[in-house]
Amino acid sequence: MKEKARYALIAELVLSIIFLIFLYLNPGLRHQLWVQHNEVFLLIFFSPLLVLMLLLVLWQKKPPKVDTFNRWLMIIFWPLLSLGGWIELMNVVAKAWPHMGAIVAVIFLLIGLGWLIPFAIAVGAEVKWTVPRLILIFWMMENLMEICTLGHIPGNKFFNTVLSTGLWAAFAYTIWACFLAWGWGYNFDFNLKFEKSANFSDGVLVFLIVFGIVDIIWNAFGGYGNNLFSVLFSYHTDPMKFTLNSFSQAAEAGIMEEMNRYLVIIVLLYALRKNKWQVPITIFISALFFGLLHFANFGWQKLAPTIAQVTSAFAIGLFFAAVYLYTGKLWLTMLMHFFVDFLIFLQENGDQPGTWNGSTGEWLVAIISVVVPICIYLWMISGKRILVMQENSDRILQPLEQENMY
């Protein structure tokens, strides 16, 4: 399987080099793309690296240090130069045949979803250590979001929304993550089957689901007033309107960020496999990463609301990780995450930057948003509940049969 992935990677590198040479030799076309976004300059400027990558991939018996160098060279630059080049080629073809824009988008984006598979198997699967693996999975997430914004189909609102909101990137990241997990030897499963366990409690499962629903509703419509009672029980809805943009934004967050959480969790579970606090530490660190991701909103919004968002994201990250490890159902956390964002984006001004005025109500919301999930986390890592999460962790890390491994 790895050898086939290597050949596919070589083919992708060759196609990328041919397209970038074509782009370099056509200054008029290059200028048109440049006007749309400045990343075209990066494609041209770093394009010689694709030739170097190709030569090093073709060199089969290279020294280990050279192999490591090429692996990280590809991790850093291949997504933008190769997949980014493919998306730019889609732009060129769609502009040349504007009446066939939808067909062009379907063909290119479907192929683009599979474009990352050889990279996952031949490159990503070879990353062995904890910190490099964490760097890889976060770097790919950010790269795909950036690459997604390069695409533009003239006059086609549907595909432009799917691209600009990052929804296509979320699907691409999911496929890449599946093959990456398999490449690392783990039996990826969206829906880990329930196994009979004396430690499992239907009551705990019901509680987690009910709390998830309550939190979704409160997060979207609650938190009004300047005293504890009104903050908890006063609800208000702004005018709501379904849009493709609101759906795509929420779906992107639910899919991509939960896939990222899954990868972080399996990396940490394996790294901490000999630690008696394996599950609590894994949940805590994965939630910390999830919270810190939201610092990316600083600049779009001010520092104070960004800090409030980071802390609340950390807290709800504890809850989502606990739900996943207790149930083994990745689709469940994806669904919860989707509705958390979707009900906000449905509302008028729901996608506007957050604000912070330091009012009593805002402090109460911030404290409740953090304290309640932390209390649930502490409850979940005690008693029989942590034993269930430990059992599921062992099943999540259960290696593939040797003949099926890359």
Asked if residue 196 is part of any domain, the answer here is no
- The pLDDT of residue 222 is 87
- The pLDDT of residue 37 is 62
Q: Cβ neighbours of residue 295 under 8 Å, at least 6 residues apart?
A: 306, 310
Q: Strand pairing partners for 191?
A: 329
Q: How many domains does the chain fold into?
A: 2
- The pLDDT of residue 34 is 60
Closest CA to 308 of 294, 320, 318: 294
Q: Say if residue 357 is in the same domain as residue 300.
A: yes
Asked if residue 17 is part of any domain, the answer here is yes
Q: Say if residue 233 is in the same domain as residue 111.
A: no
Asked if residue 191 is part of any domain, the answer here is no
DSSP states of 227-254: SHHHHHH------B---HHHHHHHHHII
Q: What would the pLDDT profile of 283-298 be if each residue is shown by its tens digit? A: 999 999 999 999 988 8
Q: Strand pairing partners for 399?
A: 186
- The pLDDT of residue 401 is 47
Q: Say if residue 178 is in the same domain as residue 206.
A: no
Q: Say if residue 156 is in the same domain as residue 270.
A: no
Residues of the chain with pLDDT below 50 are 401-406
Write down which residue in 183, 211, 230 finishes a domain. Answer: 183
The DSSP code for 272 is T
Q: How many CA atoms lie within 13 A of 317 on its CB side?
A: 30
Q: Where in the sequence is the domain holding 233, given as residue range(s)?
A: 202-404
Q: Say if residue 151 is in the same domain as residue 243.
A: no
- CA 62 – CA 184 distance, rounded (Å): 22
Burial class of residue 403 in the structure, from the number of CB atoms within 10 Å of its CB (0-12 exposed, 13-18 middle, 19+ buried): exposed
Q: Say if residue 295 is in the same domain as residue 172.
A: no
Q: Say if residue 216 is in the same domain as residue 108.
A: no
- The pLDDT of residue 402 is 41
Q: Say if residue 45 is in the same domain as residue 77.
A: yes
Q: What is the pTM for the complete model shown?
A: 0.91
- The pLDDT of residue 255 is 96
